[in-house]
Structure 1
């Protein structure tokens, strides 16, 4: 399951070793915290503590930290502990080649009442989690910051990402596509290019790339747990991190405490089914957007009923595929796929997406209308700020997805599925490409058997989102157990960003109790 995000690429080397500060006694529920640095000859993994990276204000801003938050970010970085843990590249060969996993810890501020440690499991696959203790917890909002009072917050870069050991190979073989209707001939060229690139990548370092799996990351995480001296880890997972949480809990139930998984991945790893389910959910959510726009027809002029809005947007998709427009100030041609992309926006962007769709009905000239430019004009990947940490590694993204993909469809199947998808979803279907991300991947499929567990587990599913379809939450509960926490929005991993929902998350980790759900992000008025 891949949830692609934008890439900020630049890795900063870790500085020299420093002594690790001795932790104070743990709270009664957690028990005494064991030494995180075993003595020589113990055979147990240890943390090699280092100084944390130093970031300029420009880098900090690139991490989506506001100007007002910069002093707080710097204060938190002074508290953050940074280090590496050596783990086997192949866990079936523990005496073989070793790689480093970059780890961070933000110690609990109320050490006398400490409950344990929460490991933040990042999305992707391929997202960095190195700064998650700061960005996803302590600096997120007042409610989430409270989690750091009684818990150490643990972050890490999974193998293949950021400050951890990684490799790189070409993963973007396809140049800009010709704008307009996607023909079978053009689709086959794209598919064949993907096959060639996947074969080149997979054969470039099969010993490393073949060990980029969710199960390997889970095994790394358990060695991190040991190195930190924790008897158990509590888990806070996001997107792909929810699947990582399922795998960790299945492999190491005795070491798993409370687990809260937000925007739950399915308990299976077929990319063809993933796209099919996501496409259906995206078109359903557009129905909500269409009804919202219809109630504001005086503003947007797209139709007075949801059906009229649907027909108008589908008409725009066809019109711009037939006659694409290339604006001098927009990074991509505006064809049917761009229109469908606007229709696929979640409710936090309905206001702007509605304006952009309205502008496209009457657009003329060589420059884009203002809202179209605002939403489609920004580069897909901005120039990395010098010194910025890597936030997404695309080689790891590709390798994990393809090592675990149980479909790897051929072109004829991919083309048939794409044509069916576009026909069934006239407003949003055009935004999906032809499946085949893992076509030609030369390494064997590796999948892990998930197990039901009796420990505490909360599965946060968002009713209307398409990146993590709500039904996947129900499928996951049937596969591994747990309690469903329903978020009534369409916004991916929004739970910890919404103060009321975040308060529920923190209360869960403190008490083990959780309600039925929360409202999530509000629909614009």
Structure 2
């Protein structure tokens, strides 16, 4: 049950009241926690952890906190934020409350205290819960908190690789129409979906819990939220750790540029790995030879996509090569084997074993979700936060030009960039970012080779706000908080002592063998399942930001 989450940035409401002004005292309205059906639990928790989940959930307290929709108008319309609390086991030595956020924007943190404790391979959750009350919450717009769900805009015009300008323009026009319809549905609510307001809500939660200060652990967009909370309420931060840190200046064009570079660089590492195992894969003995072989394979499949008789609904084209070239290192054994099968397989015949395993979709998607299955991601909140805060260009020509540049510069991975701004046509005002350098406690872990939150972003954030940095020599998004490695214990040590143990660690090791079963940090078959989820998303839609990955597998 690996933690993966994704990236974001920060915002400040222009003209807002002083951030640290004392809010009116309020209390958590505690109530009975939801009791989930066995069908819901099957979707939420692996079978071997279900009994323990139930025991931890029985210890959990659930409640709601009333907050102003607009914090500049505290007497105006109010909404509620859903919270959970897993009290510290050692109350005599209790260290305070530690709020958790898994990323997004739009990710639910309601179950996060329990799920974090269940991650035995990492161990941090259990250690932290010994002395900290673990606090989960659904940000405004998500899950059990007050929210608005925009109507389904219908299917966008198909965008299949190679993407033409005409197809991209049609998708842009559709995006403008869909965003305008969404933004006009409840503009008073949607306009207040910002990271700054979530930070203000979190401070209301702190006060409602009776805490003078709050500790915080955030991943991906959760780092954006943490940086903003620290900026607005520096005197109320006890200890803070941010993993896979966001860039401090929010622009979707900057997201695209940073991730395009990071993807190409990580593909170079993947090519080195494949070259070192040429006896298995036969793509070449150097990085350059492997990259050239992948470029040829992409061109061949773009010109002549392959089909297989036992996978009649699938077409295997050049964009699939780009997707495989952009995966993190834990998936490299399966990715390289899949590329070999794509190269060697004959179109019009039965699919090779790994292709069939990944693309057969034998589970049929699991059927309709149970009615009581909690929402773990809200797309409207994701869209609103991004679009209320994106200060970059939203016209078609700017993004199309950048997309063309990425495709030329990175022949294999460039197609993974976005050919248009997903916030085009959003009708609500942009609320720009402004962060300040501060001295409140802060540690950020930066993954040297990762793509969703490229390493330079953490250094940019450090320049902007201060804090200490732990450099992690892996490419796994959020792995310090969510996976077993030599880095993971540093989080528990920091929250116990307030000190950072060293400035560098190795993180999740790159697999050494082409045989996936030799990995020690992933359950058998789990990375194959992850690769399947990565590759079987509809490929006739826009490449999207990977941020809608939170604490739970979304399948």
Q: TM-score, normalised by structure 2?
A: 0.84
Q: How much has 1:383 moved relative to structure 2? A: 4.7
Find the counterpart in structure 1 of residue 433 from structure 2.
448
**Which blocks of at least 5 consecutive residues in structure 1 are unaligned?**
6-41
Tell me, in whole angstroms, the C-alpha distance in 1 between the residues paired with 2:305 and 2:53.
44
Out of 420, 424, 427, the residue aligned to residue 412 of structure 2 is 427
Q: 1:454 touches 1:481 (CA, 8 Å); kept in 2?
A: yes
| Matched residue SS, 1:460 | strand
Q: 1:51 touches 1:82 (CA, 8 Å); kept in 2?
A: yes
Find the counterpart in structure 1 of residue 355 from structure 2.
372
Find the counterpart in structure 2 of residue 355 from structure 1.
337
| Matched residue SS, 2:487 | helix
Kindly tell me: are residues 382 and 481 of structure 1, through their superposed partners in 2, closer, same or farther at Cα, counting changes over 3 Å?
A: farther
Q: 2:7 touches 2:103 (CA, 8 Å); kept in 1?
A: no
Tell me, in whole angstroms, the C-alpha distance in 2 between the residues paired with 1:186 and 1:4.
28
Q: How much has 1:299 moved relative to structure 2? A: 1.1
Find the counterpart in structure 2 of residue 508 from structure 1.
494
Q: How much has 1:257 moved relative to structure 2? A: 1.2
| Matched residue SS, 2:316 | coil
| Matched residue SS, 2:486 | helix
Q: How much has 1:70 moved relative to structure 2? A: 1.1
Tell me, in whole angstroms, the C-alpha distance in 2 between the residues paired with 1:380 and 1:227.
44
The worse-fitting range, judged by mean Cα deviation, of 347-356 and 176-185 is 176-185
Out of 107, 113, 137, the residue aligned to residue 87 of structure 2 is 107
Per-residue CA deviation, residues 76-109 of structure 1 (Å, 9 max, x unaligned), is: 0011111111111111111111111000001000
Tell me, in whole angstroms, the C-alpha distance in 2 between the residues paired with 1:468 and 1:218.
21
Superposition map of 1:275-424 within 5 A: 275-325=256-306, 329=311, 333-363=315-345, 364-365=347-348, 368-376=351-359, 378=361, 383=367, 385-386=369-370, 387-424=372-409
Tell me, in whole angstroms, the C-alpha distance in 2 between the residues paired with 1:432 and 1:370.
30
Find the counterpart in structure 2 of residue 33 from structure 1.
none
Tell me, in whole angstroms, the C-alpha distance in 1 between the residues paired with 2:281 and 2:260.
25
Find the counterpart in structure 2 of residue 489 from structure 1.
474
Q: 1:61 touches 1:67 (CA, 8 Å); kept in 2?
A: yes
Tell me, in whole angstroms, the C-alpha distance in 2 between the residues paired with 1:368 and 1:391.
34
1:129 and 2:129 are equivalent in the alignment:
no
Kindly tell me: are residues 227 and 461 of structure 1, through their superposed partners in 2, closer, same or farther at Cα, counting changes over 3 Å?
A: same
Tell me, in whole angstroms, the C-alpha distance in 2 between the residues paired with 1:390 and 1:216.
21
Q: How much has 1:61 moved relative to structure 2? A: 3.4
Q: 1:329 touches 1:373 (CA, 8 Å); kept in 2?
A: yes
Find the counterpart in structure 1 of residue 135 from structure 2.
154
Q: TM-score, normalised by structure 1?
A: 0.88
Tell me, in whole angstroms, the C-alpha distance in 1 between the residues paired with 2:29 and 2:274.
55
Tell me, in whole angstroms, the C-alpha distance in 1 between the residues paired with 2:263 and 2:193.
30
Q: 1:402 touches 1:438 (CA, 8 Å); kept in 2?
A: yes
Q: 2:306 touches 2:348 (CA, 8 Å); kept in 1?
A: no
Higher relative contact order, structure no. (Cα contacts within 8 Å, ≥ 6 residues apart): 2
Q: How much has 1:382 moved relative to structure 2? A: 6.0
Kindly tell me: are residues 365 and 58 of structure 1, through their superposed partners in 2, closer, same or farther at Cα, counting changes over 3 Å?
A: farther
Tell me, in whole angstroms, the C-alpha distance in 2 between the residues paired with 1:172 and 1:320.
32
| Matched residue SS, 2:63 | strand
Q: 1:173 touches 1:194 (CA, 8 Å); kept in 2?
A: no
Out of 488, 507, 517, the residue aligned to residue 520 of structure 1 is 507
Q: 1:342 touches 1:353 (CA, 8 Å); kept in 2?
A: yes
Find the counterpart in structure 2 of residue 82 from structure 1.
62
Superposition map of 1:443-482 within 5 A: 443-482=428-467
Kindly tell me: are residues 199 and 87 of structure 1, through their superposed partners in 2, closer, same or farther at Cα, counting changes over 3 Å?
A: same
| Matched residue SS, 1:309 | helix
Find the counterpart in structure 1 of residue 216 from structure 2.
235
Per-residue CA deviation, residues 41-81 of structure 1 (Å, 9 max, x unaligned), is: x9522111111112234423322x32211111111001111
Q: How much has 1:447 moved relative to structure 2? A: 2.1
Kindly tell me: are residues 239 and 283 of structure 1, through their superposed partners in 2, closer, same or farther at Cα, counting changes over 3 Å?
A: same
Find the counterpart in structure 2 of residue 192 from structure 1.
173
The worse-fitting range, judged by mean Cα deviation, of 324-333 and 457-466 is 324-333
Kindly tell me: are residues 187 and 357 of structure 1, through their superposed partners in 2, closer, same or farther at Cα, counting changes over 3 Å?
A: same
Kindly tell me: are residues 259 and 171 of structure 1, through their superposed partners in 2, closer, same or farther at Cα, counting changes over 3 Å?
A: farther
- Alignment length, in residue pairs? 487
Q: CA RMSD in A?
A: 2.1
Q: How much has 1:232 moved relative to structure 2? A: 0.7
| Matched residue SS, 1:153 | strand
| Matched residue SS, 1:426 | coil
**Which blocks of at least 5 consecutive residues in structure 2 are unaligned?**
9-22, 513-555
| Matched residue SS, 1:442 | coil
Q: How much has 1:385 moved relative to structure 2? A: 2.5
The worse-fitting range, judged by mean Cα deviation, of 262-271 and 406-415 is 406-415
